Structure 1
Amino acid sequence: MPATVVYVHGAFISDSAWWWSYVAEILSKSDIQSRTVDLPSCGPEGPLGNLSDDAKAVAAVVDEISGPVILVGHSYGGAVISGAAVGKQNVEHLVFISAVVPDGTSVADCGFIPADDIPELDIRDDGTVGEGEQRFKSRVLESLPSPDMTEEAVQRLTRQSLASFTDPPVGEAWRNVPSSFIICEFDADVPVAAQRAHAERTGAAHQVPTNHFAHLERPDLVAQVIVDIVDKLPVAP
């Protein structure tokens, strides 16, 4: 039975299918199906879900798939897939793209968010947080291959619940499930040193010459990592 990739987006993201569409198109040529999840922690205003709600939303999609699943988490999404995969026998591999590989600490405390950035975030009374005046997500997106892609990406940024960043891990499935890490070599969002530290918790590390959004900047390289993983999955009797 062919594998299905379930993609879990990072922080402050809406319309997950758009962010994954470039990789999904390439994967389809290798008969690899793709699914996306819009996380309940992300939206225009509160109240929004927390990390546990996000993990449950992804786990529900995994339950709908009868064959093997590869969970791909980008940035914050790494914490989500680590919880969603717990107890899911059909999850064969976890792929972290510049992503949190949780080891007992919250996303806020895992080394991905520089301490100097926290006071600059736009925190509101409805329990949500946004990128604020520093526009740290929007600025990173300016490095995408074309102005049109940047414009489309920025239009799909949204707010997120503060709780999703401060909650403790809801699972650390990477300890039991085979996993890989894609390091974004020129990442202006997540420090490369932090990525390398998290990558050491996984079974294999791959480096790509991109900024934070490798799946938009070089979807071919991200897809190739996934295709290679699929090709090595055990064949069901």
Structure 2
Amino acid sequence: MAAGGVSRPTLLLVHGAWHGSWCWDRLRAVLDADGWTTRSVDLPSAGQEAGVRDDARAVLDELARIDGPAVVVAHSYGGIPVSEAVAEADNVSHLVYLTAYQLDVGESLLGYHGAPVPPEPHGFQAVPDEPAPMFYGDVPGAEAEEAAQRLVPQSTRSFSDTLTQAGWHTVPSTYIVCENDQALPPQNQETLAARAGAVHRIASHHSPFLSMPEELAALLAKIALGSAG
């Protein structure tokens, strides 16, 4: 229970491309210490030839295990399957897009960036060259390299699949712009954030759950308590 007797929602944390649920561990430790219940999910498209619908099913399966309301926090690519999944969920009180793709129906990651979409996508997108500065520019060197070593190839289909539904049209949403991001440029984030109901900004690179977990936890708590009020 939060102050004033307001029930706290469960926070479901959904990772981005090439990553896994491990990336949330530091943030979860901070949130858990503050009395929050958190859950995370491993998206099959990281390491398997799976698409957006497969990832959305994994999110829905995890949501079904949560009693009571949930706030879903999506990072980067994770915003795409989350938008797809939440349109079918009945226990999500709020969506948080953390430097994430808040796409609309008919859009794909590749299409959003104006890249050609292969008609029959197969195989994987390799881990980017020099991922540490791209994803973890403000994470201490040794920790950034350790995280980079855990990245896995990402299914090409997940970048090509288009959304068939977008839950943010019916579920309130907040966008968190990471102002120093080297992976999803801030100007792209600002365009996507225009679709959200509220916008916050933090002075981080792409992975604030590793570089500034305390600050991110405080902001997520503020957003989540607002959704429960």
State the TM-score, normalizing by the size of structure 2: 0.88
CA distance in 1, matches of 2:61, 2:25: 21
Matched AA of 2:160: T
Q: Which residue of 1 aligns with 2:85?
A: 84
Q: Which residue of 2 aligns with 1:2?
A: 8
The answer to whether the Cα contact below 8 Å between 2:136 and 2:205 also exists between their aligned partners in 1 is no
Q: Which residue of 2 aligns with 1:29?
A: 33
Shift of 1:25: 1.4
- After TM superposition, list the pairs within 5 Å mapping 1:87-236 onto structure 2: 87-103=88-104, 104-111=106-113, 127-132=123-128, 135=129, 137-141=131-135, 143-234=137-228
Tell me: CA distance 1:63–1:153, structure 2 relative to 1, closer, same or farther (3 Å): same
State the TM-score, normalizing by the size of structure 1: 0.86
CA distance in 2, matches of 1:165, 1:141: 18
1:70 is aligned to 2:71: yes
The answer to whether the Cα contact below 8 Å between 1:83 and 1:169 also exists between their aligned partners in 2 is yes
Matched AA of 2:165: G
3-state SS of paired residue (1:180): strand
Tell me: CA distance 1:162–1:199, structure 2 relative to 1, closer, same or farther (3 Å): same
User: Superposition RMSD on alpha carbons, in Å?
Assistant: 1.9
Shift of 1:142: 5.0
Task: Give the % identical residues.
Answer: 34
CA distance in 2, matches of 1:224, 1:146: 21
Shift of 1:22: 1.6
CA distance in 2, matches of 1:153, 1:184: 19
CA distance in 2, matches of 1:192, 1:53: 28
CA distance in 1, matches of 2:162, 2:138: 32
The answer to whether the Cα contact below 8 Å between 1:2 and 1:67 also exists between their aligned partners in 2 is no
CA distance in 1, matches of 2:29, 2:65: 22
Superposed CA offset, 1:15-69 (max 9, x none): x1x21112111211332111111111111xx5x2111000000100001111110
How many residues get paired? 218
CA distance in 1, matches of 2:12, 2:228: 19
Gaps of 5+ in 1: 119-124
The answer to whether the Cα contact below 8 Å between 2:136 and 2:207 also exists between their aligned partners in 1 is no
The answer to whether the Cα contact below 8 Å between 2:12 and 2:39 also exists between their aligned partners in 1 is yes
Shift of 1:136: 5.2
Matched AA of 2:27: V
Matched AA of 2:127: E
Gaps of 5+ in 2: 1-6
CA distance in 2, matches of 1:222, 1:73: 13
Tell me: CA distance 1:142–1:36, structure 2 relative to 1, closer, same or farther (3 Å): closer
Q: Which residue of 1 aligns with 2:58?
A: 57
CA distance in 2, matches of 1:85, 1:136: 33
Shift of 1:171: 2.3
CA distance in 2, matches of 1:41, 1:166: 12
Shift of 1:215: 1.4
3-state SS of paired residue (2:112): coil
3-state SS of paired residue (1:232): helix
Shift of 1:192: 0.9
Matched AA of 1:106: S
